[in-house]
């Protein structure tokens, strides 16, 4: 006969869904805040590299994601724009994913408006072009032929920000916020390795393990992994700025903490039930 | 023949400067063809869903929703202010596409919790090792891990930077070798399945 713990092991999935929803919603509703401790790691490396860029440097920021991964990647975009624009670093943005254009524009205009930066002088959004890795290779020899105009149809040759920028090698750094393919791997292989440009970026937590080899070899200067990376970056950027608007990743870490604990609790209950059943069946033999 | 010539030019452009211009031309062709594929994809989407509606295929009721959404985004983008902020297209993107996309991805949390509860079993020592690693990484990625024990984030980072890195590197090298082998098979005409055949 099944024991109580074994019955617990067969909990209806709807109960799991409800507990999971509560684990996410309650910390957000109660505005629970947990301290974000910044250790040495990929996020700190990325932050330090950008901080070391001199004023007036030119960075290519590629928004290679869509709304499905926005909760993790959009806070990174906002924090990066905040850091770059505060340091007076010129941002040339683009997207390898069609929906990345609008999401990137949202972050760029919000920070630009708050800091009084000017479009076409301090930043520009070139838009989306199909082609992935091939597009990057073409940009390596001539950006103007790939993007004759920005996403508004304005000729990039007439923009002050594009003075002296003709190919990828003219950038001091490339940052890709990537949710998959094309994304960081394409930038590392086609731009970083080929034209020797420092590559940074951010990705979802699920895909972050695959980018550790790039860090070890120095092919990436650092990266932000998932919501934790975004919260780390928000914390570091906000530490330098008194009037920086609050981000969305830091409050999300409390919800993620509780959600992780709930998942771990489910796994422990499932295993106790499994071992109990195994022992009972073993004993029955 | 087209594949062989194109593939050889793309390889040679790295070693023979004279072929570099040809390589760049092929890259531009690729981008034009890839752009045209978006239109083909749209036409295919319309055909598939029209077919489902006409023959009342399984779940056909969702097809008119898909076609209406496609038409609404297309018309608003082409005729009502394009993609500029505050326009009809931007409004639908921000108020409908963004929340629906985020919702789809968020559902993963529920399925992961349910799947982990039913399938993540310490059935042998290897599975137990995996389970323990998962626990450490899960705790190391959230602030509560450091509150439980301040060294958990360090252990988590070690797992990512040593065992994970070794495994990922092996997978990357294996996949790259496979990519080279498959490319050569396609260039030399040994692999033809991409043409739609059965070879």
Q: Is the pLDDT score of A285 beyond 60?
A: no
Give pLDDT tens digits for A53-77: 999 999 999 999 999 899 899 999 9
Q: Give the burial class of B86: count Cβ atoms within 10 A of its Cβ; 0-12 exposed, 13-18 middle, 19 or more buried.
A: exposed
Determine the residue of chain A that is closest to B141 in CA distance.
Answer: A228
Show residues of chain B in contact with A209, CB under 8 Å: 160, 164, 168
Q: Report the distance separating Cα B171 and Cα A127, nearest Å.
A: 33
Q: B172 to chain A: which residues are within 8 Å by CB?
A: 210, 213
Per DSSP (E only), the strands in chain B are none
CB A56 within 8 Å of CB A89: yes
**Residue B174 within any structural domain of the chain:** no
- A275 contacts B113? CB cut-off 8 A: no
pLDDT for the residue numbered B71: 94
Instruction: Tell me how many residue pairs between chain A and chain B have CB atoms under 8 A apart.
Output: 154
**pLDDT band with cut points at 50, 70 and 90 for residue B34:** confident
- Mean pLDDT (chain A, rounded): 91
Segment A237-277, tens digit of pLDDT: 988 777 777 788 888 999 999 999 999 999 999 999 988 88
**Contact at CB, A263 and B165, closer than 8 angstroms:** no
Decide if B102 and A271 are in contact by the 8 Å CB cutoff: no
Residue B169 in domain: no
Give the whole-angstrom CA distance, residue A144 versus residue A141: 9
Q: Based on the structure, what is the number of domains in chain B?
A: 1
Please, which pLDDT band fits residue A123 given cuts at 50, 70 and 90? very high
- Mutation target to probe the A interface, by most A beta carbons within 10 A, among B106, B114, B135 is B114
User: Band of the pLDDT at A152, cuts 50, 70, 90?
Assistant: confident
The number of angstroms, rounded, from the C-alpha of B62 to the middle of its chain's C-alpha atoms is: 24
Name which of A110, A73, A82 is nearest A229 in CA terms: A73
Look at residue A6 and tell me whether its pLDDT is greater than 80. Answer: no
Sign of the dihedral defined by the CA atoms of residues A251, A257, A260, A261, in that order = negative
ipTM of the complex: 0.84
Average pLDDT over residues A225-233: 92
Nearest to B160 among A39, A68, A212 (CB): A212
Per-residue pLDDT tens for B123-150?
899 999 999 999 999 999 899 998 999 8
pLDDT at A282 > cutoff 80: no
Residues of B in contact with A16 (CB under 8 A): 110, 113-114, 117
CA B108 to chain centre: 16
Among chain A residues, the shortest Cα distance to B30 is held by: A131
Residue B138 covered by a domain: no
Spatial separation of the C-alpha atoms in residues A176 and A214, rounded to whole Å = 14
pLDDT, residue B19, reads 86
CB pair distance less than 8 Å for B113 and A109: no
Question: Distance between CA atoms of A88 and A58, rounded to whole angstroms?
Answer: 9
Whether the predicted pLDDT of B57 surpasses 60: yes
Domains recognised in chain A with CATH numbers: 4-31+260-284 (no CATH), 42-247 (3.40.50.10160)
Residue B127 lies in a domain: no
Range of the domain at B25: 1-60
Give me the residue from A41, A99, A138 closest to B157, CB to CB. A41
Query: For residue B161, is it within any domain?
Result: no
Query: Which DSSP category does B19 fall into?
Result: G
Contacts B114 to A, Cβ<8 Å: 13, 16-17
More confident residue, A201 or B192: A201
Instruction: Supply the pLDDT for residue A284.
Output: 58
Measured distance CA(A122)–CA(A136) in Å, rounded: 23
| B21: confidence class by pLDDT, cuts 50, 70, 90 | confident
pLDDT at residue A257 in the model: 93
Judge whether B39 lies within some domain: yes
Mean pLDDT of A137-163: 92
Q: Is the pLDDT of residue B199 over 90?
A: no
In a domain, B151, yes or no: no
Q: Which residues of chain B does A138 touch, with a Cβ-Cβ cutoff of 8 Å?
A: 24, 27-28, 31
Q: Is residue B180 part of a domain?
A: no
């Amino acid at each position: 006969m099944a024991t109580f713990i074994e019955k617990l092991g067969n909990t209806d999935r709807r109960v799991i869904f409800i507990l999971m929803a509560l684990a996410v919603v309650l910390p957000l509703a109660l505005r629970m805040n947990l301290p974000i401790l910044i250790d040495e790691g990929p996020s700190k490396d990325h932050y330090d590299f950008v901080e070391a860029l001199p004023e007036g440097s030119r960075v290519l920021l590629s928004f290679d994601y869509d709304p499905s991964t926005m909760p993790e990647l959009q806070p990174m975009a906002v924090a990066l724009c905040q850091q770059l624009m505060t340091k007076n670093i010129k941002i040339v943005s683009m997207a390898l994913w069609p929906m990345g254009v609008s999401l990137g524009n949202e972050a760029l205009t919000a920070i630009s408006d708050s800091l009084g930066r000017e479009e076409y002088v301090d930043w520009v959004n070139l838009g989306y072009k199909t082609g992935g890795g091939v597009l990057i290779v073409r940009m390596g020899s001539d950006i103007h032929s790939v993007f004759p105009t920005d996403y508004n149809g304005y000729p990039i040759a007439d923009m002050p920000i594009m003075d002296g920028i003709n190919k990828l090698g003219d950038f001091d750094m490339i940052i890709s916020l990537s949710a998959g393919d094309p994304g960081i791997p394409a930038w590392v292989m086609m731009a970083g390795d080929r034209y020797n440009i420092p590559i940074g970026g951010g990705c979802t937590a699920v895909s972050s393990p695959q980018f550790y080899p790039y860090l070890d070899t120095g092919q990436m200067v650092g990266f932000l992994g998932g919501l934790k990376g975004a919260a780390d970056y928000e914390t570091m950027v906000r530490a330098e700025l008194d009037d920086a608007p609050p981000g969305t990743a830091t409050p999300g870490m409390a919800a993620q903490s509780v959600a992780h604990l709930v998942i771990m609790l489910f796994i422990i209950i499932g295993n106790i039930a499994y071992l109990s059943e195994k022992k009972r069946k073993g004993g029955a033999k | 023949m087209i594949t062989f010539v194109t593939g050889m030019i793309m390889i040679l452009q790295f070693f023979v400067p004279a072929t570099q211009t040809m390589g760049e031309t092929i890259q531009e062709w690729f981008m034009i063809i890839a752009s045209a594929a978006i239109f083909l994809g749209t036409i295919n989407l319309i055909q598939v869903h029209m077919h489902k509606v006409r023959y009342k295929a399984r779940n056909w009721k969702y097809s008119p929703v898909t076609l209406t959404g496609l038409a609404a985004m297309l018309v608003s983008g082409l005729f009502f202010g394009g993609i500029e902020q505050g326009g009809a297209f931007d409004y639908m993107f921000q108020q409908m596409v963004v929340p629906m996309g985020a919702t789809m991805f968020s559902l993963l949390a529920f399925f992961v919790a349910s799947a982990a509860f039913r399938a993540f079993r310490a059935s042998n020592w290897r599975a137990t090792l995996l389970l323990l690693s998962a626990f450490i990484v899960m705790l190391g990625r959230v602030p509560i891990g450091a509150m439980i024990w301040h060294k958990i984030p360090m252990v988590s980072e070690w797992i990512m930077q040593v065992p994970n890195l070794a495994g990922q590197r092996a997978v990357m090298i294996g996949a790259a070798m496979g990519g080279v082998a498959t490319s050569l098979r396609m260039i030399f005409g040994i692999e033809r399945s991409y043409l739609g055949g059965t070879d």
